[in-house]
């Protein structure tokens, strides 16, 4: 084997944060990975994606393109911790049309099994296209020659196509964090061909589950008559790969938080405040209609009503993060959940001891980890979910080796977390039985299943996910 050139650091000296490729990396996502501090500075925002990618960009001096989160914010490029940040301005009207409208009221429901009727409006589409073009032009202007550009999620599906036209030298990848729907649903979208063409500007398109990749390949074939073989589509004289890259969490970080003395103290406090029940059931979600929060509340209520669970010994804690509050479907969902919580508490609580504890709040990550540890049974029951990181965080937090995860088959996490109690949440009776099974599970089986879950998540954390995607993207770009 050749000796490495003297200027190259020895592999053993490489920082674990170093990216797996030598070329410059540019990330594009709807939001920049930073938020404003009280003293008008910037700090990295919380969230798994940022935790996975930011240290890597910091190490390699990379770049991130995105919106600051404030309307009409045309901030100049700036640098935080050695990462170059390029804001893309989005106007207040565009936030309504591109973000709340096309992204979250057309694409989001359609991509989640059409759980709600999508709104298809030409004004929204025009705004989506305009913002996507703006992102692509920013990227075309700043991406170094031959660099690797990694674009994230459903808000930016047209970016690869426009960018490819402007900068054929770039290697372009895209990761879809949510499901890619079956062709029968996808073809409802009036601009389905434009979206597929946009994604075909990539060298590699990544999905959470094999079904997402297969649906995308099938849509490209049906709509554009593109040739395909296994996991590749051939279009416009180029090969576009469709790969599967299930996202994960920062396992070490959650484990370290869960092990801290403060967390352990917090866990005892939480259980005491809940009235030291035998079983604490937990739900943690963005308040989204895809997450099946109402469904699990109804299942809990039915179990109390039928006497299969005793309200004196079983409590539920539901934490719901405020999200997309300007979109009507989200306002309706919140009203329905709060009505259910009120109804269940009215019927089954006693004074000072509500049977459902409901928080409509965003909690700090360490408080969330303490809650995970305090939860005996975690209920993750989405109708459809790209992955669901809560399921993985719960397993990572249970360093005590105990706790049961009830998990919907319709979450991407179900492919890997096969030691959960898997359930079809559309089946009322099955969901009720799954909850009872989790509550009554023998300690030996609980520990065995939790060991399986923890082994699985430790095999693939979010840093590994980012490395695998970038290595595959680099290879795809070199090949084509
Ligand atoms: P989300 O739909 O947001 O993500 P999820 O994967 O569960 O869903 O991630 C939610 C994150 O928010 C978790 O990391 C969790 O800790 C945090 N969170 C939830 N409730 C919270 C609360 N009350 N306070 C503070 N934090 C809270 C989309 C897709 C998913 C996919 C991810 C990542 O819809 O399917 O797993 O992207 O690809």
Residue-wise pLDDT tens digits, 149-172: 999 999 999 999 999 999 999 999
* 13-248+463-479 and 251-459 share one fold: yes
Atom of ligand 1 nearest to the CA of 48: 14
- Ligand 1 pocket, mutate which of 175, 388, 465 (most atoms under 8 A from CB): 388
CATH, domain range 13-248+463-479: 3.40.50.2000
What is the distance, to the nearest Å, from the Cα of residue 101 to the centroid of all Cα atoms in its chain? Answer: 20
With a cut of 70, say whether residue 251 has pLDDT above it: yes
Quick one: pLDDT band at residue 332, thresholds 50, 70, 90? very high
Q: What is residue 5's predicted lDDT score, i.e. its pLDDT? A: 42
Q: What is residue 27's predicted lDDT score, i.e. its pLDDT? A: 96
What is the distance, to the nearest Å, from the Cα of residue 330 to the centroid of all Cα atoms in its chain? Answer: 18
What gap in Å lies between CA 67 and CA 166, rounded to an integer? Answer: 21
Quick one: pLDDT band at residue 281, thresholds 50, 70, 90? very high
What is the distance, to the nearest Å, from the Cα of residue 298 to the centroid of all Cα atoms in its chain? Answer: 25
Q: What is the pTM of this model?
A: 0.95
Shortest-distance Cα residue to atom 20 of ligand 1: 285
Question: CB of 35 within 8 A of CB of 43?
Answer: yes
Q: Is the C-beta atom of 407 inside 6 A of ligand 1? A: no
With a cut of 50, say whether residue 7 has pLDDT above it: no
Q: Is the C-beta atom of 390 inside 6 A of ligand 1? A: yes
With a cut of 80, say whether residue 15 has pLDDT above it: no
Quick one: pLDDT band at residue 126, thresholds 50, 70, 90? very high
* Domain map (residue ranges) of the chain: 13-248+463-479, 251-459
Q: What is residue 14's predicted lDDT score, i.e. its pLDDT? A: 63
Question: CB of 371 within 8 A of CB of 270?
Answer: yes
Pick the range with the lowest mean pLDDT from 42-51, 88-97, 260-269: 42-51
369: which 2 tokens? 């980890």
Could you give the C-alpha distances from 187 to 98, 205, 277, in angstroms and in order?
20, 19, 49
Per-residue model confidence as pLDDT tens digits over 42-51: 888 877 688 7
Atom of ligand 1 nearest to the CA of 321: 23
Q: What is residue 468's predicted lDDT score, i.e. its pLDDT? A: 96
Could you give the C-alpha distances from 276 to 314, 356, 461, in angstroms and in order?
10, 14, 33
With a cut of 70, say whether residue 9 has pLDDT above it: no
Q: For residue 251, how far is its CA from the centre of ligand 1 (angstroms)?
A: 15
Q: What is residue 230's predicted lDDT score, i.e. its pLDDT? A: 82
Q: Is the C-beta atom of 385 inside 6 A of ligand 1? A: yes
Q: What is residue 288's predicted lDDT score, i.e. its pLDDT? A: 96
Could you give the C-alpha distances from 361 to 201, 268, 307, 367, 387, in angstroms and in order?
39, 21, 31, 12, 22
What is the distance, to the nearest Å, from the Cα of residue 35 to the centroid of all Cα atoms in its chain? Answer: 19
With a cut of 70, say whether residue 53 has pLDDT above it: yes
Q: Which residue in 153, 285, 376, 385 is the catalytic one? A: 385
For the chain, state the CA radius of gyration. Answer: 23
> Region 167-183: what's the mean pLDDT?
98
Q: What is residue 317's predicted lDDT score, i.e. its pLDDT? A: 98
Q: Which residue in 73, 177, 367, 433 is the catalytic one? A: 177
With a cut of 50, say whether residue 248 has pLDDT above it: yes
What gap in Å lies between CA 477 and CA 295, rounded to an integer? Answer: 44
CATH topology for 251-459 is Rossmann fold (3.40.50)
- The packing angle between helices 462-479 and 48-60, to 10°, is 60
The yes-or-no answer on residue 444 being catalytic is no
Q: Is the C-beta atom of 21 inside 6 A of ligand 1? A: no
Shortest-distance Cα residue to atom 22 of ligand 1: 362
What gap in Å lies between CA 275 and CA 10, rounded to an integer? Answer: 56
116: which 2 tokens? 């709600």
Q: How far apart are the first and last CA of the chain?
A: 27
- The packing angle between helices 389-397 and 443-459, to 10°, is 120
Give the residue from 205, 137, 140 showing the smallest Cα distance to 176: 205
Quick one: pLDDT band at residue 54, thresholds 50, 70, 90? confident
- Ligand 1 pocket, mutate which of 103, 330, 390, 412 (most atoms under 8 A from CB): 390
Percent of residues, the chain, with pLDDT higher than 70: 96
Shortest-distance Cα residue to atom 4 of ligand 1: 388
Q: What is residue 13's predicted lDDT score, i.e. its pLDDT? A: 53
Return all residues near 182 (Cβ < 8 A) that are at least 6 apart: 215, 218
What gap in Å lies between CA 20 and CA 431, rounded to an integer? Answer: 42
Q: Is the C-beta atom of 393 inside 6 A of ligand 1? A: yes
Q: What contacts 24+ positions apart, CB below 8 Å, involve 8-15? A: 15/59
What gap in Å lies between CA 278 and CA 169, rounded to an integer? Answer: 61
Atom of ligand 1 nearest to the CA of 179: 35
The yes-or-no answer on residue 433 being catalytic is no
- 480 or 324: whose pLDDT is higher? 324
Q: Is the C-beta atom of 187 inside 6 A of ligand 1? A: no
Q: What is residue 222's predicted lDDT score, i.e. its pLDDT? A: 97
Percent of residues, the chain, with pLDDT higher than 90: 86
Q: What is residue 8's predicted lDDT score, i.e. its pLDDT? A: 43
Q: What is residue 480's predicted lDDT score, i.e. its pLDDT? A: 62
Q: For residue 389, how far is its CA from the centre of ligand 1 (angstroms)?
A: 6
Q: Is the C-beta atom of 414 inside 6 A of ligand 1? A: no
Give me the DSSP letters along 360-376: ESPPPHHHHHHHHHH-S
Atom of ligand 1 nearest to the CA of 359: 23
């Amino acid at each position: 084997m050749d000796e490495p050139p003297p200027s190259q650091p020895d592999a053993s000296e490489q920082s674990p944060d170093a990216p797996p490729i030598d070329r410059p990396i540019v990330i594009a996502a709807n939001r920049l990975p930073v938020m404003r501090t009280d003293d008008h500075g910037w700090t990295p925002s919380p969230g798994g994606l940022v935790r996975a990618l930011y240290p890597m960009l910091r190490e390699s001096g990379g770049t991130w393109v995105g919106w600051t989160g404030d309307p009409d914010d045309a901030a100049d490029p700036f640098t935080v911790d050695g990462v170059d940040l390029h804001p893309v301005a989005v106007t207040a009207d565009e936030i309504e049309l591109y973000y709340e409208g096309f992204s979250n009221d057309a694409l989001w429901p359609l991509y989640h099994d059409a759980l709600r009727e999508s709104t298809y409006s030409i004004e929204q589409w025009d705004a989506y296209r305009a913002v996507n073009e703006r992102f692509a032009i920013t990227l075309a202007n700043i991406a170094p020659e031959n660099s690797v550009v990694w674009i994230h999620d459903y808000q930016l599906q047209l970016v690869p196509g426009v960018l490819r036209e402007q900068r054929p030298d770039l290697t372009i990848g895209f990761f879809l964090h949510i499901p890619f729907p079956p062709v029968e649903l996808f073809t409802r979208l009036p601009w389905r061909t434009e979206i597929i063409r946009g994604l075909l500007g990539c060298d590699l398109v990544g999905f959470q589950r094999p079904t997402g990749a297969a649906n995308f390949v099938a849509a490209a074939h049906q709509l554009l008559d593109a040739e395909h073989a296994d996991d590749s589509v051939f279009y416009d004289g180029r090969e576009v790969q469709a790969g599967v890259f299930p996202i994960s969490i920062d396992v070490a970080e959650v484990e370290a938080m869960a092990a801290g003395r403060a967390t352990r103290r917090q866990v005892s406090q939480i259980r005491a405040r809940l009235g030291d029940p035998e079983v604490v059931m937990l739900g943690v979600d963005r308040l989204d209609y895809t997450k099946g929060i109402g469904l699990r509340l109804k299942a809990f209520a039915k179990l109390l009503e039928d006497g299969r669970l005793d309200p004196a010994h079983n409590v539920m804690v539901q934490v719901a993060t405020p999200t997309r509050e300007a979109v009507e479907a989200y306002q309706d969902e919140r009203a329905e959940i709060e009505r259910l919580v009120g109804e269940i508490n009215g019927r089954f609580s006693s004074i000072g001891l509500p049977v459902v504890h409901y928080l409509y709040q965003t909690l700090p990550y360490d408080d969330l980890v303490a809650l995970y540890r305090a939860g005996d049974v975690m209920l993750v029951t989405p109708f459809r979910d790209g992955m669901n990181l809560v399921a993985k965080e719960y397993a990572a937090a249970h360093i005590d080796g105990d706790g049961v995860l009830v998990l919907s088959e319709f979450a991407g996490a179900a492919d890997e977390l096969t030691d959960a109690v898997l359930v079809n949440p559309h089946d009322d009776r099955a969901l009720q039985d799954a909850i009872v099974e989790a509550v009554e599970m023998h300690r030996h089986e609980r520990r065995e299943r939790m060991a399986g879950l923890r082994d699985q998540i430790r095999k693939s954390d979010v840093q590994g996910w980012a490395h695998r995607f970038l290595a595959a993207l680099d290879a795809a770009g070199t090949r084509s």
